[in-house]
């Protein structure tokens, strides 16, 4: 089995492009233009994933807003239950966003890089092809890392939101201790422990995803393998 990391764009034969009955230039341009269909499909898929990620974040904000409103409404939720529910919601939002980030960057972005690198090679080898990709890369370099900010910054915010929510439980716990009500103290203590346990899990997960994202292949690596 061929190792995918050792495979280069130059391993693929470009001597037979397009319809053999067409002039050579027309063959090359037809094959080159066909790459745009693949790029369009992958771009559209990534756009849909980012729309889902945005909706997921908004749903999380809405859920937290509902819990805050329910907590302070007349005959509303218990403060401890509301705090713990918010902590769970924030963590679930982070899990969803990171899953979409992986699907976006580890699947569709890699496919897009492959098509881009193939088009880049065609532009290098055939002067009749407009140097669109070469110009884009020369003027903008590799902006792959910038794409990750769409997911990375919201993930940071969810972690800090979770931390703030957990810290906000401390005054509730202190108040319960001051009142020396055993039932309230126990409930507040468990809420505090569980909230900070979720924050710890959230931090470990966030740190793991951030480190993993740094190992994802960039466009430059794909172009280097096509050299």
Segment 46-62, tens digit of pLDDT: 999 999 999 999 999 99
pLDDT computed for residue 54 by the predictor: 96
CA distances from 9 to 81, 130, 136, 153, 222 (A): 56, 19, 19, 33, 8
Comparing CA positions, the residue from 182, 170, 168, 185 lying closest to residue 72 is 168
pLDDT computed for residue 227 by the predictor: 53
pLDDT computed for residue 157 by the predictor: 95
Segment 183-217, tens digit of pLDDT: 456 777 888 889 999 999 999 999 999 999 888 88
Structural domain spans, the chain: 9-225
pLDDT computed for residue 3 by the predictor: 52
Q: What's the average pLDDT block by block, 10 residues per block, for the chain (227 residues)? A: 53 57 74 86 94 96 93 80 93 96 92 90 86 87 83 94 91 64 67 91 93 88 75
User: In whole angstroms, what is the distance from residue 115 CA to residue 118 CA?
Assistant: 5
pLDDT computed for residue 2 by the predictor: 45
Longest dimension (CA), the chain: 90
């Amino acid at each position: 089995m061929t190792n995918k990391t050792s495979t280069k764009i130059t391993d693929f034969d470009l001597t037979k492009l397009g319809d053999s009955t067409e002039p050579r230039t027309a063959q090359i341009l037809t094959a080159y233009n066909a790459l745009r269909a693949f790029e369009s499909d992958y771009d559209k898929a990534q756009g849909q994933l980012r729309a889902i990620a945005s909706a997921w974040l908004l749903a999380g904000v809405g859920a937290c807003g509902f819990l805050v409103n329910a907590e302070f409404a007349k005959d509303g939720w218990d403060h401890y239950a509301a705090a713990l529910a918010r902590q769970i919601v924030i963590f679930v939002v982070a899990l969803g966003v990171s899953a979409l980030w992986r699907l976006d960057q580890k699947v569709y972005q890699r496919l897009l890089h492959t098509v881009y690198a193939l088009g880049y090679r065609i532009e290098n080898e055939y002067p009749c092809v407009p140097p669109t990709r070469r110009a884009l890369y020369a003027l903008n370099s590799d902006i792959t890392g910038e794409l990750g900010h769409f997911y990375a910054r919201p993930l940071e915010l969810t972690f800090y939101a979770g931390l703030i929510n957990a810290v906000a439980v401390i005054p509730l716990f202190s108040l319960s201790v001051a009142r020396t009500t055993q039932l309230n103290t126990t409930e507040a203590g468990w809420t505090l422990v569980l909230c900070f346990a979720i924050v710890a899990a959230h931090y470990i997960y966030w740190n793991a995803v951030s480190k993993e994202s740094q190992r994802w292949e960039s466009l430059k690596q794909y172009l280097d393998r096509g050299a």
